[in-house]
Chains A and B, each alone.
Chain A
């Protein structure tokens, strides 16, 4: 079946612009996660949802970053007034079971969106 998809795959923007990144999880998956991966580093947690409810946003770096999942299906990660330091790969993952913490359910990752801020 279809895996996690993300769009766009590549995004180049100028400093100060707003961007929106989209994630479509595997159909039927309840939990959706966002991570950020700097070059040469491991992914770092940003936020996650169970259905449409944002459960944990402790990893969002500052209030320029926000995410929503309005109907419990796809999610959008928005970055306002982008800065060069926001350049990274943004990864989305989903898992079948509702994340009640601590989670042992497998997370399936999408291909990522490579964001470059000039």
Chain B
């Protein structure tokens, strides 16, 4: 079946540091890939998505590229801010719905 594996957190960074959160997946067919973010006390929000191989999703300075050859969709940001502190979930579409990773907590200090 489908599965998503994310690096375990928490990831602790200083403001303006470079961020990478690794995500790899196992899936049949050609899934779409997503990153969702959950800020403290809030619901899940779509951060970015990519629907086919080699697509790059981007939003708010975050980027991720759909790599079919390595079955990966790593999240990157060049310079994190304190306001980026949240839990980040990698996800893929199965036949009818989303399969999520366990989430990676990001903590950014001033």
Contacts and interface: CB of A to CB of B under 8 A. Distances in A.
A102 B94 contact: yes
Interface residues of A, number: 26
Interface in A65-112: 91, 93, 99, 101-104, 106-112
Interface in B70-109: 89, 91, 93-103
Given A104-B32, A107-B98, A43 B93 contact: no
Interface in B41-83: 42-46, 49, 51
Interface residues of B, number: 26
Contacts of A41: 102-103
Given A41-B102, A42-B89, A102-B29, A108 B97 contact: no
A101 B100 contact: no
A61 interface: no
Contacts of A103: 32, 93, 96-97
A48 B89 contact: no
Contacts of A101: 95-96
Contacts of A91: 43-44
A109 B95 contact: no
Interface in A39-68: 40-45, 48, 55-56
Nearest to A104: B32
Interface in A12-62: 33, 35, 40-45, 48, 55-56
| 7 nearest CB pairs, A to B | A42-B100, A109-B44, A111-B43, A101-B95, A104-B32, A101-B96, A109-B43
Interface of A: 4, 33, 35, 40-45, 48, 55-56, 91, 93, 99, 101-104, 106-112
Interface of B: 4, 29-32, 36, 42-46, 49, 51, 89, 91, 93-103
9 contacts: A33-B97, A42-B89, A42-B101, A56-B96, A102-B29, A103-B97, A104-B51, A106-B46, A111-B43
